[in-house]
Structure 1
Amino acid sequence: MTSDDDTVRPFHSRSIETYSALSPDQAEAVVGLLAEAARSDGQHPVSEQGRLRLRGGAREGVSHLLLTVDGELVGYAQLEDTDPVEAPAAELVVHPSHRGHGHGRALGSALLAASGKRLRVWAHGGHSAARHLAQVLGLTLFRELRQMRRPLTDLELPEPKLPDGVTVRTFVPGRDDAAWLTVNAAAFAHHPEQGSLTQRDLDDRMSEPWFDPAGFFLAEREGELVGFHWTKVHATEGIGEVYVLGVAPGAQGGGLGKSLTTIGLRHLAARGLSTAMLYVDADNKSAVSVYERLGFVTHETDLMYRTET
Structure 2
Amino acid sequence: MATDERAIPGLDDIEAVLALAAAATATDGVGPLSEQTLLALRNPADYPDVVHLFARESDGVVGYAQVAKDAGNASGEVVVHPAFRGKGLGRRLVESALAAARDAGVPLAIWAHGEHPAALALARSLGLVRSRVLFKMCRPLERPLPPVRLPDDVRLRPFVVGADDAAWLRVNARAFATHPEQGKWTRHDLELRQREPWFDPAGFLLAVPADEPTTLLGFHWTKRELTADGAPGPEGEVYVVGVDPDAQGLRLGTALTLAGLDHLKNTGATEAALYVDESNARAVRMYAGLGFEVCETHVMYGTG
Compute the TM-score of the two structures, normalised by the length of structure 1. 0.90
Tell me the equivalent position of 1:180: 168
1:90 maps to 2:76 = yes
1:36 maps to 2:23 = yes
8 Å contact from structure 1 (residues 61, 82) kept in 2: no
Tell me the equivalent position of 1:127: 116
Q: Tell me the alpha carbon deviations over residues 230-273 of structure 1, each in whole angstroms, 9 at most, x when there is no partner.
A: 01123544111111101112222431111111111111122232
Mind listing any 5+ residue stretches in structure 1 that lack a counterpart? 1-12
Tell me the equivalent position of 1:169: 157
Pairing 1:56-95 to 2, within 5 Å after superposition:
56-58=43-45, 59-70=47-58, 72-84=60-72, 87-95=73-81
The answer to which of 193-202 and 284-293 deviates more is 193-202
Aligned-partner Cα distance in 2 for 1:159–1:127: 38
1:191 maps to 2:179 = yes
8 Å contact from structure 2 (residues 223, 239) kept in 1: yes
1:306 maps to 2:282 = no
SS at match of 1:81: strand
1:262 maps to 2:261 = no
Pairing 1:146-157 to 2, within 5 Å after superposition:
146-157=135-146
SS at match of 1:233: strand
Q: Tell me the alpha carbon deviations over residues 197-244 of structure 1, each in whole angstroms, 9 at most, x when there is no partner.
A: 222222222222221111100112333212110011235441111111
SS at match of 1:34: helix
1:14 maps to 2:5 = no
Aligned-partner Cα distance in 1 for 2:58–2:235: 40
Paired residues, number: 292
Aligned-partner Cα distance in 1 for 2:235–2:14: 27
1:114 maps to 2:100 = yes
Aligned-partner Cα distance in 1 for 2:252–2:51: 39
Q: Tell me the alpha carbon deviations over residues 19-77 of structure 1, each in whole angstroms, 9 at most, x when there is no partner.
A: 3x311121111111111111111121000111111122331431111111347211100
Aligned-partner Cα distance in 1 for 2:127–2:51: 22
Aligned-partner Cα distance in 2 for 1:88–1:240: 29
SS at match of 1:252: helix
AA partner of residue 305 (structure 1): Y
8 Å contact from structure 2 (residues 145, 258) kept in 1: no
1:159 Cα offset (Å)? 3.2
8 Å contact from structure 1 (residues 121, 304) kept in 2: yes
1:184 Cα offset (Å)? 1.2
The answer to which of 178-187 and 72-81 deviates more is 178-187
SS at match of 2:107: coil
8 Å contact from structure 1 (residues 155, 269) kept in 2: no
Compute the TM-score of the two structures, normalised by the length of structure 2. 0.91
Aligned-partner Cα distance in 2 for 1:186–1:61: 26
Name whichever structure is richer in helix by fraction: 2
Aligned-partner Cα distance in 2 for 1:103–1:306: 19
Tell me the equivalent position of 2:189: 201
Q: Tell me the alpha carbon deviations over residues 62-109 of structure 1, each in whole angstroms, 9 at most, x when there is no partner.
A: 11111113472111001000224xx21000011110000111100111
Q: Of 113, 125, 132, which aligns to 1:136?
A: 125
Change in 2 beyond 3 A, CA 1:294/1:182: same
Tell me the equivalent position of 1:54: 41
Aligned-partner Cα distance in 1 for 2:167–2:236: 25
Aligned-partner Cα distance in 2 for 1:224–1:23: 42
8 Å contact from structure 1 (residues 151, 276) kept in 2: yes
The answer to which of 50-59 and 118-127 deviates more is 50-59
Aligned-partner Cα distance in 2 for 1:108–1:154: 42
Aligned-partner Cα distance in 2 for 1:276–1:126: 21
Tell me the equivalent position of 1:215: 203
